[in-house]
Amino acid sequence: MIRELSWLDLFYLVLALRWTIVLTLLALTGGGIIGLLVAASGASRRGAWRYLAKAYVSLVQGIPLLAWLFIFYFGLSIVGYNLPPWIAATIGFSVYASAFLGEIWRGALISIPRTQWEAALAIGMTYVEQLRYIIIPQAVRVAIAPTVGFIVQLIKNTSLAAVIGFVELTREGQLTTSSTFQPFAVYMIVAALYFCLCYPLTRYSRTLEGRRRAVR
């Protein structure tokens, strides 16, 4: 039954925004853990670890995010693993985020002058100790701006979770449109909510980037 767009619909759209945020945070947590391992492997002196990290990044980035969602939601169901949409979305986005975060952080790690690595090695530090005490504290300043920029992209990409039935902001917009038949008004609200979430992060990323250039 078609009805008029109401304030209750707006409330539900705003409420759905929380699942967009939750999915983003879950993806950042899972992707961050894996991405840190990818970055550490990619910056390693051992060629085998660098090759594995490069192969992983190439594989993940070479497959569209939508395909990863289909793999974990529809693909696993074929072999008997029926994952709820939110779990499939979390895994899919975590895998996707891990490759991009891993590459961003690897670039930050290798941007630290080699003399810093050599000095840490000279005093007997292991590779993990070099990263923990010497390299990562310096690399964080380099990595923050591009990481925040990627988070903005990740927030917008969570809209793809709607295709597997995960009710985040975009999916709620689809449901509201189907009952009100006012797609222009509904998706203008959806766009405005995404903008309100992403714009402050975009400005923050640009501010951080400007500060880093000023320090140089």
- Give the domains, in start order, of the chain with CATH numbers: 7-215 (1.10.3720.10)
Residue 209 has pLDDT above 80, yes or no: no
Please tell me the distance from the alpha carbon of residue 84 to that of residue 44, in angstroms, as a whole number: 37
Can you give the pLDDT at residue 213? 62
Tell me the pLDDT band of 212, cut-offs 50, 70 and 90.
low
More confident residue, 213 or 61: 61
> Looking only at Cα atoms, what is the longest distance across the chain?
74
**Continuous segment of H or E residues that includes residue 77:** helix 76-78
**Measured at the alpha carbon of residue 116, what is the angle toward residues 53 and 135, in degrees to the nearest 5?**
50
Please tell me the distance from the alpha carbon of residue 79 to that of residue 26, in angstroms, as a whole number: 25
pTM over 0.75: yes
Taking alpha carbons only, the member of 128, 138, 56, 135 closest to residue 97 is 56
Tell me the pLDDT band of 72, cut-offs 50, 70 and 90.
very high
Rounded mean pLDDT of 116-144? 90
Average pLDDT, the chain: 92
Interval 82-94: pLDDT, tens: 999 999 999 999 9
Can you give the pLDDT at residue 45? 86
3-state class (DSSP) for residue 94: helix
